[in-house]
Structure formats: C-alpha cells, structure tokens
Amino acid sequence: MSFEAIIFDCDGVLVASEKLSSHLEIEMLTKLGCDVTTEELRTACLGKTQEETFRYFREKWGHKIPLSFEQEYLQSLKEKFSHELEAVPGVDNTLACLELPIAVASNATNDRLTLALSKTGLIDYFVGRIFSVDMVKHGKPAPDLYLAAAAKLGAEPKKCLVIEDSPTGVKAGKVAGMTVLGFTGGGHTFSGHAPLLLQAGAVNVIAEFPELLDFVKTSP
C-alpha cells in the first residue's frame, strides 16, 4: 500500500517525555506513602490521558492524595518539560526527509502538547496539524484523534500510517482503519515492549527513527 499521510503520537514517539512524567509520578506518590512501581504505572497508565491517570491514582490511593495533587503535578511537569525535555534521537532529520503530509495526534492536552513540541523545536513541522485530546469527544483508544487528523490531511484512513509507542495508541489507530507501526525508541522501552505493540495490532516495530524512512520506502 502506498501511504498518503503519516500521523505521529507525541509522548514517547516524537519527544522523550514518558520517562520524565513517570519519574515525577513515582517521586510524588512515594512521598505521599503510596506503594508504586514503574511496572504498575506502565501497565495502568501508558498511553492514557492525564485525566485517566489521575483517576487511577485516586481510585487506588485516594485517602493519601491531597486535593492539590493534580495542580502540583502539572506545574512540576511543566517545569520539567521546560528544562529537561528533548526530542527523540533522529526525529528531526527523519521528519525533514519525509515527503508525505504529517500530523500529530496525542492524548495530551493542547497546552502540554504545544509546550512539548515547542521546547523540542518540532512544532514547525506540525503547524495547523496538531490534534490534542481536548479537541475530540473521545481520546485513544477511540479512533477520534486519528480520524480527525486524516480528515485534515485529506487522506483516506486506510492509507494512513500511524506511529505509536503504546498499546492504547495502537488500538486507536487500528480502530480508525489505519496501518500502525510500533515504536520503542522513546527512551522508556522495557522488556516485552515490542511484543506488546504487535499483540495490540502493530504490523511491525521499529526502535530508531531512520527505520521509518526504510519502512515507508519499501511499503508496496
């Protein structure tokens, strides 16, 4: 299939943010006396919206979490992004070489998404083609974000390629009728990451951005 467009997830695909957010969550929850591990957060929250993540925290540790937790977390994350966030290695050169129309579709809010893309110098690639969770009725794993991006790009969903790092995102792309390529190069990969993406419906998995160019070039 010849693709008409490529749609990227952001966190853990374009920007190396998953490790920053996970470390902050563990740090803040541990200080509150919550028994939490990286593996638990990965299983319960990877690819989910911030609202869903906060809901999980309160359902499990609500009696330990103050009312100010969400606001304090978001402010701390904003500061971390402003000082520490980096683009995933190879993404800038790869985006510059792509000849297909591209967009970004993320379960992050518009403010967080804009900050991440601006801080990493990637936002100019996606001006007018940035889709955040607050722009649609349902976030991933629903297909709304990917269908909205395809419509903006003027591409048929079945001819769109999605790049995703989470099972939640892979499922969203598949429900939208798109081809999904898994990605494990976002700095937060783990044992079993690639098989998990394949199980969710990814047609293949790449670990470095230059592999995307080869995948697109060799796709029939």
Domain boundaries along the sequence of the chain = 5-16+86-218, 18-84
Could you tell me which CATH class the domain 5-16+86-218 is placed in? alpha beta
Secondary structure of 82-133 in the HEC alphabet?
Answer: HHHCCECCCHHHHHHHCCCCEEEECCCCHHHHHHHHHHCCCHHHCCCCEECH
Determine the length of the chain.
220
At CA 134, angle to CA 14 and CA 126, rounded to 5? 35
Express each pLDDT in 78-89 by its tens digit: 999 999 999 999
Express each pLDDT in 151-206 by its tens digit: 999 999 999 999 999 999 999 999 999 999 999 998 888 889 999 999 999 999 99
Please tell me the predicted confidence (pLDDT) of residue 77. 92
pTM, two decimal places: 0.91
For residues 107 and 135, give the distance between their C-alpha atoms in angstroms, rounded to a whole number: 10
Please tell me the predicted confidence (pLDDT) of residue 44. 82
Supply φ then ψ for residue 162, to 5 degrees: -110, 140
Express each pLDDT in 111-151 by its tens digit: 999 999 999 999 999 999 999 999 999 999 999 999 999 99
Please tell me the predicted confidence (pLDDT) of residue 200. 96
CATH 2.120.10: does it fit domain 18-84? Answer: no
